[in-house]
Structure 1
Amino acid sequence: MTARLSELSQEAEHLRISRKTLLSLAEADPAPAEPDAPRLFGFDHPYYQQILTVFGQAEGSLRARDLAPAMGLPLTPNGIQNVRAKLKRLASRRILVETEPGLFTQPRP
């Protein structure tokens, strides 16, 4: 029984040392750089970041049908409707502009 307690005590000491080492390494490393696409409050789903990335590379307006394949989604009615709903949400927050029904673009500065 005392041998097992001694082993557990050694393991606890090793864990304490490992924790201390990891904490010191975490403090020494700077925070990772933010990704190029801006992080938007309330738009944490990766699809929103993909949409903004595609719009950043596009030279004009896009429809949901254009975005679905660029995001790796199938061209099914459900897939297109999911993208359209996200585009409408971004437009309602004025992150994108719906220039005509179903056609979206980034606002000009």
Structure 2
Amino acid sequence: MTDRIRPLLLGYIREAVLGSERLASAQTRLEAFAHDEGFALGTVFIDRRHSLPGAFDALMQEIRRGDEAWGIVIPDVGHLNEANYRVMNAGRHDYTSTTVLVANAIASSRLP
């Protein structure tokens, strides 16, 4: 175990795009990715299938609130839709230092 403080990642999952993967499995994948890459995983914001979408908005409010989170981690690129990208681009001045990491089962990558 290391004594150094790990940078914080916030998670985001859209339950509707999980396909056959279970929500718990997707959360575990985010946790494992964060740990393996030297991060601590904070709150995982989940947009559920049968509820009003709002988790992404809550995630963006958390990012805007302070500089605690180093970035966002998602299970794969399908979890961010066109509306999410528009929100991030419209508020680019609020999110200029936010990095989105993809905890893909095959490989991880950074989104441009």
Q: So what's the TM-score if we normalise by structure 2?
A: 0.29
Larger of the two Rg values belongs to structure: 1
Relative to its length, the structure with more helix (as a share) is: 1
Relative to its length, the structure with more strand (as a share) is: 2
Q: So what's the TM-score if we normalise by structure 1?
A: 0.30
> Relative CO higher for 1 or 2, CA cutoff 8 Å, sep ≥ 6?
2
